[in-house]
Amino acid sequence: MVETIRVNLKVNGKQYVLDIPPDERLIDTLRYRLGFTSIKEGCGRGECGSCIVLVNGLPRHSCLTLTATLDGAEILTVEGLAPEGKLHAIQVAFLETRGVQCGFCTPAFMLLTKALLDKTLDPSDEEIKQWLASAICRCGSYHYYFKAVRKAAEYLKKGKILFDEKEVRKNLYKLPLLR
């Protein structure tokens, strides 16, 4: 077996040159080599979707991907959605719909939302369901997440992409509960 394979990866906008054992999974590279711990391992076999990241803009299970096959790829995790002190419209929408319960699944759902809204800001109900069904939420936040997708689309349509984190947090408590 080859000892390591050199891989050029762009993760959240930053370029990395990594020497990776050929059998290393993307989830392990991201979590343990690079420290992006938003990605979670649930099942390790493509079923739960907790490990979904975006590879070249499309959802991908990082538990079923070998890093060595990704030379030249661009990867996005939620850590890369907005710079320090800012929140992305998708994060704001997820906060405001108060869908997040334990939060284990939330990064995957946000990234699914990102990839869907990159394709269209007017997804049909059925499309939203198809996409969100890629991940499992143990706490049952699906209906909140569904609303969050619509809300994020509204912000993005108005050109509102980045929000000031402090402002968002301050106003969060004044918002009525969504039903």
Partner 1 sequence: MKPLAGGTELLLLIRDRRIPTPKYLLDLNAIRKELSYVKLEEDKVRIGAATTLYELSQSILHKDKRYAGFVDVFYGFATMAMRFYATIGGNILSATQYNDYLTLLTVYEPELVLVSKQGERRLTLEQLVLDKRKLAIRPDELLKEIIISVPPENTSSSFMKFDRRRILIAGVVTGAVLLTLNDNVIEDVKISFDMIREKRVPGRARKTEEFLQGKELSEEVVEEAAEEILPSEMERMSDWWTTGEYRLDMSKVVLKRNIFRAARRIRGEK
175 binds partner 1 per the rule CB under 8 A = no
Q: Is residue 19 a contact partner of residue 30, using CB atoms and an 8 Å limit?
A: no
User: Which stretches of the chain bind ligand FES, using CB under 6 A?
Assistant: 41-44, 46-51, 61, 63, 100-106, 137-139, 141
Q: Which is nearest to 90 in space by CA: 59, 118, 62, 53? A: 118
Q: Which is nearest to 131 in space by CA: 78, 59, 50? A: 59
Q: Which is nearest to 118 in space by CA: 145, 85, 149, 86? A: 149
- The interface region with partner 1, picked from 58-66, 83-91, 154-162, 164-172 by CB under 8 A, is 58-66
Question: Rounded to the nearest whole angstrom, what is the least distance from the CB of residue 43 to ligand FAD in the complex?
Answer: 8
Question: Rounded to the nearest whole angstrom, what is the least distance from the CB of residue 83 to ligand FES in the complex?
Answer: 25
Q: Quick one: which of 42, 44, 86, 162 contacts partner 1 (CB under 8 A)? A: 44
Q: Which is nearest to 52 in space by CA: 27, 16, 24? A: 27
Angle, vertex CA 61, rays to CA 123 and CA 117, nearest 5: 20
Contact pattern from residue 76 through residue 115 relative to partner 1, giving x for each residue in contact according to CB under 8 A and a dash for the rest: ------------------------------------x---
Residue 113 binds which of ligand FES, partner 1, ligand FAD, none (CB < 5-8 A, kind-dependent): none
Distances (CA, A) of 80 to 24, 103, 118, 119: 22, 17, 15, 19
| DSSP assignment string, 86-109 | EEEHHHHHHHHTT--SS-SSHHHH
Question: Rounded to the nearest whole angstrom, what is the least distance from the CB of residue 4 to partner 1 in the complex?
Answer: 15
Residues that bind partner 1 (CB under 8 A): 1, 22, 44-47, 49, 52, 58-61, 64-66, 68-69, 112, 130-131, 133-135
Residues that bind ligand FAD (CB under 6 A): 45-47
